[in-house]
Amino acid sequence: MDYFKQRRAYRNFKMYEASVSNGQNNLYRELLDYANDEGKLDVQFRMKNSALLSLTGLSEPGLDKARNSLVQLGLIKYVRGKKNVKPPEYRIINLYSRSAGYPTSNPTTSHKSRSTGLDEVGQSVGQGGGQPVEHKELTSTDPDLTDTDSYDDDAGVTREQVINDWTNLWGFPNGVARPEIDEWLAVLKPELVAYAIQIAGEHDVQSRGALKYVRAIVAGWKKRNITTLEQAKKAAANHDDRMKSERKPSGYSKPRRKEVTPKWMQKGASQVDSKPNSIDNQQDDMSDEAFLAFMNSQEEAK
């Protein structure tokens, strides 16, 4: 089976034949990519539920539902496994070898004309083994459909892409970050969340401060009722201009020296009590907007 032909056929399937949810799409892409990586596009292969849960971000009921839907749509073959003994088996069904008769204009969904593809499973395919593909290509959306570099195409950014962007910058989101990302995606469009992550990356935010930094951006957008990518970009530009203006010196004046009595010299205080909080503790005590300003000032000081 040719990986790229299968990808194109799957894209046409989504465009012309059936509606595929984000969960179903994520699951199918992970199965297809794994089969290609392991050279098992034409044979059955095993894959643990735990691995698919981690890769797709689905819950167990969500995984079951998405998997059953893919079987019903004729995209995969599935053989149930045995818990703690044998993982489930999958097989990718060849889509491009069948004649689908896709329209060239004004496409409409027609379930009657769609073949289930189940009769294709037993057929042998001439080309075996996986196709050489870079890892980034495996986990991103089709480059000819979207341009995710600047997130100008609102329809092109998916939940999968948001998770990939986070992973590329700071590693796969942990159990604290993942639920919060899901909350953002529930109230904001994926392209907005992706743009917030992009802003953090452009400001060289490290993994330890990533969640709070992006949280501050999202909170600011919610407060200002920002719901579109254009509004978010304008707000980001205004924020950068404001920060530059605030840091620009208006004139020089000799600073006044202020005598400060150390805390440990004050009555009833010990020197141990005067030890300043760590940067981490200071950051934890900041509001979201104060933290964002603090991080920007740290970047300017570099």
Q: How far apart are CA 8 and CA 247, in angstroms?
A: 51
Residue-wise DSSP of 191-258: HHHHHHHHHHHHTT--HHHHHHHHHHHHHHHHHTT--SHHHHHHHHHHHHHHHHHHHS-----PPPP-
Task: Name, in order, each residue with C-beta under 8 angstroms of 260's C-beta and a sequence gap of 6 or more.
Answer: none
Report whether 44 contacts 90 (CB < 8 A).
Answer: yes
Whether pLDDT at 29 is above 50: yes
Beta bridge partners of 46: 89
- For the segment 171-225, what is each residue's pLDDT rounded down to a tens digit? 888 888 888 998 998 888 899 999 999 998 888 889 888 999 999 999 988 888 9
Q: What pLDDT, on a 0 to 100 scale, did the predictor assign at position 255?
A: 58
Record the tokens describing residue 220, joined without a space: 């600011």
Alpha helix ranges (H) inside the chain: 3-12, 22-37, 49-56, 60-72, 135-138, 159-170, 177-187, 190-202, 207-223, 229-247, 279-285, 288-301
Confidence (pTM): 0.39
Looking at the predicted structure, is the pLDDT value of residue 102 above 90? Answer: no
